[in-house]
Amino acid sequence: MTRGVARPTKIPHADESWHPIAQRLWDSLKTSGQADFYQDSDWALAFSLCEDLSYYKGAGKRSGQMLQTIYSAFERLLVAEGDRRRVRVELHEPAPEQQSAAVLAIADYKKDLGLEA
């Protein structure tokens, strides 16, 4: 496996003229766990797909083939849980934040000295 370096990304703003469903999908991408893996090219692809989805949703006559093509492209961004499972990407709940042993020891020391209320 060849490895590269993940680089900082800048998430573009949604187009305010998009269909509400495309805007909702865009907003959900920004807060979903798979976004941890997105690079600028992924955000550019997602932006383009939301643009296409917005056009599709606003079109008078809709093509089932166009919708299928859009949804297939979203699969590459691992948008749905089934897509992530297929490539063995699993999102975990964040671990509860634990205090370090040093912080706990200091708290116990203060308690023993009667410095804690």
- Over range 3-31, report the average pLDDT: 93
The answer to whether position 115 is within a domain reads no
- Confirm whether 64 is domain-assigned: yes
Token couple for 67: 């919708």
> What is the number of structural domains in the chain?
1
Q: How is the chain classified by DSSP, letter by letter?
A: ----------PPPPPTTS-HHHHHHHHHHHHSGGGGG--HHHHHHHHHHHHHHHHHHH-SS--HHHHHHHHHHHHHTT-SHHHHHHTT----PPPPP---HHHHHHHHHHHHTT---
Task: Kindly tell me if the per-residue pLDDT of 88 is higher than 60.
Answer: yes
Any domain includes 110:
no
End-to-end Cα spacing for the chain: 56
pTM, two decimal places: 0.74
Distance of alpha carbon 44 from its chain centroid, rounded? 14
Position 54 in a domain: yes
- Domain around 58: 9-91
53 has a pLDDT exceeding 80: yes
Q: Quick check: is 72 in a domain?
A: yes
